[in-house]
Amino acid sequence: MGNLYGLIGHPVGHSMSPIMHNTAFLRLQLEHHYHAFDIAPQRLADGIKALRILNVSGFNVTIPHKVEVMKYLDEVDQEAALIGAVNTVVNMDGRLIGYNTDGRGYVESLKCVLKKPLPENKVLVIGAGGAARAIITSMVLQGVKEIDIINRTIEKAKLIKENCSQFEAKIDLYSLNDLKVDLSRYNIIINTTSIGMYPNVEDVPLPVKSVRPGSIFSDLIYNPLQTRWLQQAEEKGALVHNGVGMFVQQGALAFEMWTGIKPNIEQMTNIVLKQLGG
C-alpha cells in the first residue's frame, strides 16, 4: 500500500500540487497519493492532529499556514527557522519535521539562466514578504554577498536585513517610491510582489529604464507566464525567468525528501505548464 501525502492551506482548490505530485507518483509506479486538505486557520491545531492520526507521510504547507504551522511541529530545520516559515513537513517515524524548500527551489530554478556562479552576482529583490524572505535567506546561505531590497514598506525590508545580519552579505534597502535605484547595477533583479499578476497585467513593479547587458530579470509570477515587466526587460536585452521553475523545484525538493527519489523536472514542468494553459 502506498503512502499518503498532502497539502494544507486555505483555500487549496486551485493548487497545481496534487496533479504535479500524483502524476510523478504514477510515472514512477509508486502507489502513493497526494491530497489537498482545505484547513481553515482556526482549525489548524486539529488539522495537524488529524494528519498525525492518519499517519500522513509528509505534506506541503501554503497560505495562510506557513508561519503558524511551526507551533505544531516537533522540529523545524535551520533554514526554515531562519526564514520563519515552513512549506514542507516530513513525518519521520511519527515526528513532524518542518523544512522550507521555497528559497532553495527558487535558486535551483534560476540555475538554467545563471551566467556565473550564484555568489558572484549582485542581486536586487523587489518586495519583502514571505517569498522575498525565503529567497534572500537561501541566497545568503548559498554565499551571495550583495543583495539589495526595494519595498513599499521599508520596515519589512529592515526585518529581513536584521534576520540576515549574522551572514557576510551586504544588504542595502530602498523604498519603492525611490526611483533613484539604477537597475543596471544588478545582474539579477527579482520581482517577488504580485504587481503584474492577472488581472492587473498592465502593471509593472519598477520601470525598466536601463538593463545591464546579459542581466537576468526574474518574476515569481506565473499568471501570466510572461508579465509586462518581463516583456519590457526582454525587449531591452535581458534574460528573463518566470515563476514556474520555482513552483516546480520547491515541489521537487519536497518530493525527494519524502520519497528519496529525484523526480523528472521536465515532466513536472510540462504538467504545470499544461495546467496554466501554456
Q: How far is 209 from 187, CA to CA, in rounded Å? A: 15
What count of other Cβ atoms lies within 10 Å of the Cβ of residue 136? 28
Q: What is the DSSP letter of 213?
A: T
47 binds ligand ATR (CB under 6 A): no
Query: In angstroms, what is the minimal distance from the CB of 55 to ligand ATR?
Result: 30
How far out from the chain centre does Cα 99 lie? Answer: 13
Residues whose CB falls within 8 Å of the CB of residue 165, separated by 6 or more in sequence, listed in order: none
Grid cell for residue 77? 530545520
Per-residue binding letters, 146-165, with ligand ATR (x by CB under 6 A): -----xxx--x---------
Q: Which of 49, 66, 115, 116 is catalytic?
A: 66
# residues near ligand ATR by CB under 6 A: 15
**Counting contacts by CB under 6 A, is residue 275 touching ligand ATR?**
no
Does residue 176 touch ligand ATR according to CB under 6 A? yes
Tell me how far CA of residue 136 lies from CA of 4, 225, 234, in angstroms: 32, 23, 24
| Known catalytic residue at 111 | no
64 lies in the binding site for ligand ATR (CB under 6 A): no
Which grid coordinates are listed for 221?
509570477
Residues 117-146 that bind ligand ATR (CB under 6 A): 127-132
Residue ranges binding ligand ATR (CB under 6 A): 127-132, 151-153, 156, 176, 192-195
Catalytic residues: 66
